[in-house]
Amino acid sequence: MHLSPDELIFWQHGFFKLNATIVFTWALMFVMAVGSRLITRKLSTDLKRSPWQNLLEILVTAIEEQIGEIGLRDPKRYLGFLGTLFLFVALASLCTVIPGYDPPTGSLSTTAALALCVFVAVPLFGIRERGLGGYLKSYVEPTFIMLPFNIISELSRTLALAVRLFGNMMSGAMIIAILLTITPFIFPIVMTALGLLTGMVQAYIFSILAAVYIAAATRAAKPKPEPAPST
Amino acid sequence: MDNMTLIAVASIATAGLTTGVGCMAPALGEGRSIAMALTALAQQPDASATITRTLFVGLAMIESTAIYCFVVSMILIFANPFWNHVIAQAVGK
C-alpha cells in the first residue's frame, strides 16, 4: 500500500524520476487538450450539432453561470482559470473508475501546485481589477492592525486548499485499498461510488473557493456612492 | 519497553485517538449546519441555490478539519518521522 502515487515509479534515470503522478497528470492533460481540440475543430451554430459540442456547451455555460453567481463581474474573464481547475480536478477523480489509475490529485505535490496557482492568481486578478494600490490597501482594511492576520489567512487558506483536496483524494484511495483486503467483493464498489461523489464535490469546492478568493480580492471594499442625478 | 515499542504504542494509540476525536467534532458541526440549512430551505425554498452553495462551501471548510486529523493519523501510521529516526539509528548501530 502506498500513501501517494508519487511512490509508484515507472521509469528512472539518475535524478529524473517518472512517477505515477506525472504520468497520469500528463495523460489527463493530453486527454483534455486533444479532446477539446477535436470537439471544437468543427463547431456548428445551426440546430444540428454533435453531442460532444452539446456536452462542452453545457459545461462551459454551467461553470460561467456558477462564477457569475459568486459575485464576480464579467465571468468570462475568469472562466479559463476556474474552469480549468474544476475540469482537471473533476476528471482526475472521475477517472478512478479506470482500473490501475491513481488520481494525481491524491499526491500532495499536485494539490500544492494547484493551490499555488490560486495563491498567485488571486493577487494578479486583484491588481488587474483594482490597481496595485487598491489591492494592497485591501490588506489594511478595516484597520492597520489586521495586516498580519490578512497575510496569515492568505497563506493558511492556500495550505488548506492543498491539504483538503489531497486528504479527500488520498483517503478515498486508502479506504478502497483497505477494504479490498477485508471485504473484497461488494464494499469497494460502494466506496468507489462514494469516492466519485466526494471527488465531484471536492472539484466543485476547489473551484468555488478559488472563485470566492478572487471575488474577495477584486471586489472594491466600499462601493462608491452613486453621484446624485442632476435634475 | 525499549524506545521502539514506546514509539509504536504512542503512534498507534495517538493515530486512533486523532481520527476518533477529529471525526466527532466536525460531525457535530456539520450536523448542526445541515440542520440549520434545512430549516432555511424549508422557510425559503426560492433561495435554495444560494443556500446550497454556501452550505457546500461551509461543509468543505468544516470537513477539512476532519481531513487534517486524518492526514495526521496517516502520517503517524505510514510515514512516522520518529519511527524512521529510531529505525535509522538501529540500523546505523
Q: At B8, which CATH number?
A: 1.20.20.10
In the prediction, which pLDDT does B89 show? 85
Instruction: Give the best residue of B52, B56, B67, B68 to mutate against chain A (max A CB count within 10 A).
Output: B67
The pTM assigned to this predicted structure is 0.82
Inter-CA distances, A48 with A37, A52, A56, Å: 19, 12, 15
In the prediction, which pLDDT does A226 show? 57
Kindly determine whether residue B64 and residue A204, on different chains, have CB atoms separated by under 8 Å.
no
Within a domain: residue B93? no
Task: Provide the CA A165 distance to its chain's centre, in angstroms.
Answer: 9
Helices A187-218 & A76-94 angle (0-180, nearest 10): 160
Nearest to A89 by CA among A215, A196, A227: A196
A45 CB-side CA count, 13 A: 0
Ranges under pLDDT 70 in chain B: 1
Q: How many CB atoms lie within 10 A of CB A36?
A: 14
Q: Which residues of A touch B60 (CB under 8 A)?
A: 164, 201-202, 205, 209
Q: Which of B53, B71, B78 sits opposite A167 (nearest CB)?
A: B71
Ranges under pLDDT 50 in chain A: none
Within a domain: residue B42? yes
Rounded distance between C-alpha atoms, residue A110 and residue A93, angstroms = 13
Within a domain: residue B17? yes
* Domain span including residue B63: 3-88
In the prediction, which pLDDT does A82 show? 92
Q: What does the domain layout of chain A look like in residue ranges?
A: 69-218
Q: Are strands A9-13 and A16-19 parallel, antiparallel or unpaired?
A: antiparallel
In the prediction, which pLDDT does A218 show? 85
In the prediction, which pLDDT does A45 show? 80
Q: Which of B49, B70, B79 sits opposite A171 (nearest CB)?
A: B70
Rounded distance between C-alpha atoms, residue A75 and residue A62, angstroms = 11
Number of A:B CB contacts under 8 A? 43
Instruction: Give the best residue of B63, B72, B80, B84 to mutate against chain A (max A CB count within 10 A).
Output: B63
3-state percent breakdown (helix, strand, coil) of chain A, nearest 5:
75, 5, 20
SS3 A169: helix
In the prediction, which pLDDT does A220 show? 60
Kindly determine whether residue A3 and residue B63, on different chains, have CB atoms separated by under 8 Å.
no
Give chain B's domain count: 1
Rounded distance between C-alpha atoms, residue B11 and residue B76, angstroms = 6
Give the model confidence (pLDDT) of A123-142 as tens digits. 999 898 888 888 888 888 77
Rounded distance between C-alpha atoms, residue A202 and residue A207, angstroms = 9
Within a domain: residue B80? yes
Q: Is the peptide bond before A148 cis (omega within 30 degrees of 0)?
A: no
